[in-house]
Amino acid sequence: MTRVLITGGAGFIGSHAADALLAAGYEVRLLDELSPQVHGPQRERPTYLDREAELVVGDVTDALAVERALRGTDMVLHLASAVGVGQSMYDIDSYVRTNELGTAILLQALSKRPVERLVVASSMSIYGEGLCRGVDHAELAPQERSLDQLRSGVWELRDGAGRSLDPVPTPETKQPSLSSIYALNKYAQERMCLIIGKAYGIPTVALRFFNVFGPRQALSNPYTGVLAIFAARLLNGRRPLVFEDGLQRRDFVHVKDVARACRMALETDRTNDVFNVGSGQSRTIVSVAKDLARVMGRADIAPEITGKYRAGDIRHCFADITKSRALLGFEPRVAFEDGLTELAGYLADQIADDQAEKAAEELSRRGLVA
């Protein structure tokens, strides 16, 4: 039976990927340090983990722990990562250590003992601003918004002549534009895996995840996905904090669809390739905050539009999944409304320590919120 090692496997996406792989007949081993920011101070095995999944508690930056976890492993799904654009802009050494050094240590071990396949989690954050269309209908990669523009509260993207640009789905061919330490980390993870995979004959695929949501997301981590952050606020009777004007657009994809994409990437014959994993749809952040409040029965709690900008944030980015459909066979199955309803059911039994305001204050203190 094929054994898959999932680094970061006790987390949100990793646990769902473990479920999908176990259901498909794989053996699954998880390597996870059980970070207190994600799993709480007790650092205990999460109750949601399938009993059939073997858990090895260890840090991906610990070479001995990585080598032990790799023993008897046939494939690797590398998900271990410190996540969050905001925190990456001040906790720089920690992000580089976990994301880049951790990946390097994993690859060092794989250079000594190659596996049958390697799949690495990348991120939509590497695109920076998503693809746009100008007034002449030509597609282009927009420039980052200037600090003067942001301080003036002019949020939308513009061309060199000051004309508005329309966002369009972003394909894998768009050149990276790295606007945060986290984005830089994810691109480094992706490229390191593809380079070493090619050099050592390990078929490797990178999956660029968009905004993943669903049950098991860490509600008390203020740097996790935006829906979890909003949920923590709403569970405590507080208004979700929305930056800029709330009309920035993102692509929300359900975690079960992401887990299925991970399995497909392990099973595909594609190699040294990258794929977007999203829903192929876009939604404004403010509409998502309102939709979540509605399904949670908190429609009376309106989002708070802060009119502020965070360093490293981008305006619009949503996925073109044409390539993933054609070459990976990936098709999203969970409708956004159905996913929200499932999430609301999960949240009904949860207690969340809302850290959003504390995180915003920390960013502001460091001059990372304008």
- Angle, helix 356-365 to helix 226-235, in steps of 10 degrees: 120
pLDDT (tens, 9 = 90+) of the chain, 370 residues, equals 999 999 999 999 999 999 999 999 999 999 999 988 888 888 889 999 999 999 999 999 999 999 999 999 999 999 999 998 889 999 999 999 999 999 999 999 999 999 999 999 999 999 999 999 998 888 999 999 988 899 899 999 998 888 889 999 999 999 999 999 999 999 999 999 999 999 999 999 999 999 999 999 887 776 678 888 898 899 899 999 999 999 999 999 999 999 999 999 999 999 999 999 999 999 999 999 999 999 999 999 999 999 999 888 999 999 999 999 999 999 999 999 999 999 989 988 876 676 666 767 776 777 777 6
Number of neighbours of residue 135 by Cβ within 10 angstroms: 11
Domain map (residue ranges) of the chain: 3-365
Query: What whole-number distance in Å separates Cα of residue 98 and Cα of residue 94?
Result: 6
For residue 208, the cross-strand partners are: 122, 276
Query: What whole-number distance in Å separates Cα of residue 297 and Cα of residue 361?
Result: 28
Please tell me the predicted confidence (pLDDT) of residue 290.
97
Please tell me the predicted confidence (pLDDT) of residue 305.
96
The domain defined by 3-365 carries CATH number 2.60.40.10: no
Give the alpha-carbon dihedral of 98, 103, 106, 111, to 10 degrees. Answer: -150
- Angle, helix 226-235 to helix 336-347, in steps of 10 degrees: 40
Please tell me the predicted confidence (pLDDT) of residue 352.
64
SS (H, E, C) the chain: CCEEEEECCCCHHHHHHHHHHHHCCCEEEEEECCCHHHHCCCCCCCCCCCCCCEEEECCCCCHHHHHHHHCCCCEEEECCCCCCHHHHCCCHHHHHHHHHHHHHHHHHHHHHCCCCEEEEEEEHHHHCCCCEECCCCCEECCCCCCHHHHHCCCCCCECCCCCECEECCECCCCCCCCCCHHHHHHHHHHHHHHHHHHHCCCCEEEEEECEEECCCCCCCCCCCCHHHHHHHHHHCCCCCEECCCCCCEECEEEHHHHHHHHHHHHHCCCCCEEEEECCCCCEEHHHHHHHHHHHCCCCCCCCEECCCCECCCCCEECECCHHHHHHHCCCCCCCHHHHHHHHHHHHCCCCCCCCHHHHHHHHHHCCCEC
Please tell me the predicted confidence (pLDDT) of residue 170.
98
Q: Active-site positions? A: 182
Q: Are 80 and 32 in contact (CB under 8 A)?
A: yes
Phi-psi region of 45 (alpha: psi -120 to 50; beta: other; left: phi over 0): beta
Q: Are 139 and 132 in contact (CB under 8 A)?
A: yes
Q: Which two tokens stand for residue 195?
A: 């380079």
Please tell me the predicted confidence (pLDDT) of residue 228.
86
Please tell me the predicted confidence (pLDDT) of residue 259.
98
